[in-house]
Structure 1
Amino acid sequence: MSTVLLAEDASSRPGHDVELGPHLLRHGLGDARDILRIYSPAPTAAFSRRDTLRPGYERAASAVRQHGFEPVVRPQGGSLAAYHRGSVVVDHVHRAEQSSPNPVERFQRFAAMHTAMLAGLGADARIGPVPGEYCPGEYSINAGGVKIVGSAQRVTRDGWLFSTVIQVSGTAVLREVHTAAYRELGYDFDPATVGSLEDVVPDLTVERVAEAVRAAYDLPGPHLPDSSPSPSSRHR
């Protein structure tokens, strides 16, 4: 089998969302080599394990709850990234025991793919961090002076999980929740760097962006299972 595209489960919760990628990385799905999930999540504040070691972590978790976002701890690196129904999250699982442990090539490849995709939607998207951005990274994608795409990855003996968050709409609430949390975490952060595609290309929808992601992968639409596998039913 080539790439398998999981159908979006609108009823899934942030805890399930953050566990599903690592579960698929470890256990796979049939004989699929690549497993792709494209979805718009419930309001989620994805902290990294590094964040949980900060003195202000509990206060930050409380702050995001007050803004209606559920705090979770993701296995990928980086620092807090919040997303919601106005975001498109792309989780790409590649299962291969001999996959390269070097993460740089994947960051470069996916940043180039997503930048080209966003350019096709009318955004003047550029690879590179915006000073003071949340979850800073060399391969963030920005447009109009704000960060619109972030990515993180996890590499294990089973392969890799590459996660990308494309912020489509809802800049105001994203700015509020990041500001509240980063204040407690004590990281350098400039709220003005938080943005979304709606700031530079009005009228874009999550549906159109998700469709563009599928086209970039040359996939017509979900074609799998009756339901997504549940992390709660792990093999022992």
Structure 2
Amino acid sequence: MKNWKEVVHHTTFRYLDHTEKNFFHGRAYTALTSFAVDDVLALSAAGTNDNPALRLWVHPDTVVLGIPDARLPHLEEGIQLLSNHGYRAIVRNSGGLAVALDTGVLNISLVLPDVRGLSIHDCYKAMVSFIQYMLRDLTDEIEAYEIVGSYCPGDYDLSINGRKFAGISQRRVKDGAAIQIYLDVEGKGRERAELIRDFYDVARKEEETSFDYPEINPSVMASLSELLGIKLTVDDMKQRVLNALEDVSEELVSNDFSEDELVQFEKRYEQMVKRNEKTGMNGQDSRSGGKD
């Protein structure tokens, strides 16, 4: 497997910690906002001389659905079940299937410029090696392969002893790529899996579908805290991300969005809203006078 340095050759990174944001330039900061932000970062980092970006984000009680999930035969009933459990649902614009987010889940977006010479697998492998490096003092047992029975299964599921704690998706915008990973840091991974299992049970029932949705086995999922047997928090993990990024870079910059980026953000945000409206989801975030 390629390591970080074989894929990422840059020495300067744009670093954005959005984990405690409630608003973003007049928008309520929800998962819809996050996916629009990553699109803009990918657009901004499309040139050969542009710097990559690394962004941290957290959203409370949200189920992020994949595009195939929006075609489930009883989607409205599934959304109602999630709502009854206090979860909001949105459809994202990157690959994958349903994922449960809450305040115990840290999301990391690695945005790379000029990926024309990099395969999708190269980008996934860069993220895997970064996570392994970040946790190297705690474990050397992190593996990347599909965990059957997990939600949002894929070739780059991250697991320890066969139990998944993270999944990766990827979105390419022009010549930039956003590699997004969720890390179940604290809390009960099994309970998150049970929620997604129940969502599929209700939204699919026993109908035949053209898409092969996962049969979820909650016992194959856990948080890092559970797997390592130590108390880890999202704040702990944020510091580990920053420490690892400082190790592999020479300079970190934390530039706010430029005027051009804000224009692109509005366009990308509206695209996310329309994507959700087309699938019958209420994707519109309310306007707010709150500050960033």
TM (normalized to structure 2)?
A: 0.70
Within 5 Å, give how 1:90-129 maps onto structure 2.
90-96=108-114, 99-100=116-117, 102-122=119-139, 124-129=141-146
Give SS of 1:178's match.
Answer: helix
Give SS of 2:129's match.
Answer: helix
Give SS of 2:199's match.
Answer: helix
Within 5 Å, give how 1:123-162 maps onto structure 2.
124-162=141-179
Is the 2:40–2:265 contact (alpha carbons within 8 Å) kept by the matching residues of 1?
A: no
Give the percent of matched residue pairs that are identical in Structure 1 and Structure 2.
21
Code of the residue aligned with 2:243 in structure 1: it is: A
Aligned CA distance change for structure 1 residues 182 and 191 (closer, same or farther; 3 Å): farther
Q: Give the one of 10, 28, 36 matched to 2:21.
A: 10
**What is the deviation of 1:69?**
1.9
**What is the deviation of 1:144?**
3.9
Of the structure 1 ranges 128-137 and 51-60, higher mean CA displacement relative to structure 2 is found in 51-60
**What is the deviation of 1:208?**
1.3
Could you tell me which runs of 5 or more consecutive residues in structure 1 were left unpaired when the two chains were aligned. Answer: none
Alignment of 1:205 with 2:233, yes or no, is yes
| Paired positions, count | 234
Structure 1 distance, partners of 2:72, 2:82, is 15
Q: Give the one of 169, 187, 199 matched to 1:181.
A: 199
Is the 1:3–1:32 contact (alpha carbons within 8 Å) kept by the matching residues of 2?
A: no
Structure 2 distance, partners of 1:222, 1:33, is 10
Of the structure 1 ranges 125-134 and 175-184, higher mean CA displacement relative to structure 2 is found in 175-184
**Structure 2 match to 1:77:** 95
Code of the residue aligned with 1:65 in structure 2: it is: S
Q: Which has the larger radius of gyration?
A: 2
Aligned CA distance change for structure 1 residues 206 and 15 (closer, same or farther; 3 Å): same
Cα RMSD between the aligned structures? Answer: 2.9
**What is the deviation of 1:27?**
4.4
Is the 2:191–2:218 contact (alpha carbons within 8 Å) kept by the matching residues of 1?
A: no
> Any idea what the Cα deviations from partners look like across 1:181-205, whole Å, max 9, x if unmatched?
2323443211212211121222111
Aligned CA distance change for structure 1 residues 102 and 204 (closer, same or farther; 3 Å): same
Within 5 Å, give how 1:26-37 maps onto structure 2.
26-27=43-44, 32-37=50-55
Aligned CA distance change for structure 1 residues 101 and 148 (closer, same or farther; 3 Å): same
Is the 1:111–1:140 contact (alpha carbons within 8 Å) kept by the matching residues of 2?
A: no
> Any idea what the Cα deviations from partners look like across 1:192-232, whole Å, max 9, x if unmatched?
12211121222111111122122222269974245796565
Code of the residue aligned with 1:110 in structure 2: it is: M
Structure 1 distance, partners of 2:124, 2:203, is 26
Could you tell me which runs of 5 or more consecutive residues in structure 2 were left unpaired when the two chains were aligned. Answer: 1-10, 23-28, 205-212, 269-292
Structure 1 distance, partners of 2:216, 2:30, is 28
Structure 1 distance, partners of 2:120, 2:169, is 10
